[in-house]
Amino acid sequence: MRIDVLTLFPEMFSGYVGQSLLKRAIDAGIVDVRLHNIRDWAQGKHRQVDDRPFGGGPGMVLRPEPVVESVEAVRAQAGEAGHLVLLTPQGRKLDQRIVEELAEKPGLILLCGRYEGVDQRAIDILQPDEISIGDYILGGGEVAAMVLVDAVVRLVPGVLGDEESNRQDSFSGDPPLLEFAQYTRPREYRGRTVPEVLMSGNHPEIARWREEQKMQRTRERRSDLLGDDPAERRSDV
Ligand code: ADE
């Protein structure tokens, strides 16, 4: 999978791209990450990428020209393979279902917004898939793009080892359930012991216990995943 990232701060990605799972995937040739600085497409002596909003108000807005032209240039390199995503709090909210959908694409072009937003004409022209990572405001789309890459890359075939990829993750089922509690050595820590059933070697019994745990935890912590109305849940407390 080819991933192009368009940002005003490519250096924000360098630590992340050089680490762990993503680095392994890049070294193995499964994922190809390319960083592009939107400022390289800025015009004029001052290479200005942002400006004050028409109509007044605080902050700065990304101008349409460097945004549209940088995306067009990267699209031309990436071919039609690049699915364009704009990271913005106005987008559809990322969940595991959307992560699975994006992991199927041969390539992604991730456009990171900054300042108060992106000129609407750039969005109208480019028609990106607008995605938010949650109902809070970040300083820009860069951290959101890293979250998206992290979640997507681990689903690309060959990135996780067999053992890891055969695991059932939280949120992957229907309905999506939380994971059961995990324990490792030692058997006893500060007076707390591992549940007896996990030491029993009785695998059908262990599987049953884990299924019960998943349902119980989801009911206690995230009953919205089971179709409960979260507003109703709030009024209960
Ligand atoms: N940019 C700023 N806030 C964001 C969010 N919550 N999700 C995606 N991009 C963002």
pLDDT digits (tens, 9 = 90+) for 7-42: 999 999 999 998 879 999 999 999 999 999 999 999
Distance 61 CA to ligand 1 centre (A): 15
Does the annotation mark 169 as catalytic?
Answer: yes
Amino acid 170: pLDDT? 73
Does 110 sit in the ligand 1 pocket, CB within 6 Å? no
Among the listed residues 51, 95, 101, 169, the single catalytic one is 169
pTM flag (> 0.75)? yes
Residue type, 42: A
Decide which of 3.40.1280.10, 3.40.1160.10, 3.40.50.300, 3.30.450.20 is the CATH code for 2-153: 3.40.1280.10
* Distance in angstroms (rounded) separating the CA atoms of residues 14 and 21: 14
Amino acid 167: pLDDT? 64
Domain extent listing, the chain: 2-153, 170-236
Amino acid 237: pLDDT? 47
Q: Which residues of the chain have pLDDT under 70?
A: 163, 165-168, 230-237
Decide which of 1.20.140.10, 1.20.950.20, 1.10.1270.20, 1.10.3720.10 is the CATH code for 170-236: 1.10.1270.20
Counting ligand 1 atoms within 8 A of each CB, the residue from 7, 12, 110, 133 with the most, and so the one to mutate, is 133
Amino acid 202: pLDDT? 98
Does 136 sit in the ligand 1 pocket, CB within 6 Å? yes
Q: Looking at ligand 1, which residue's alpha carbon is closest to its atom 4? A: 89
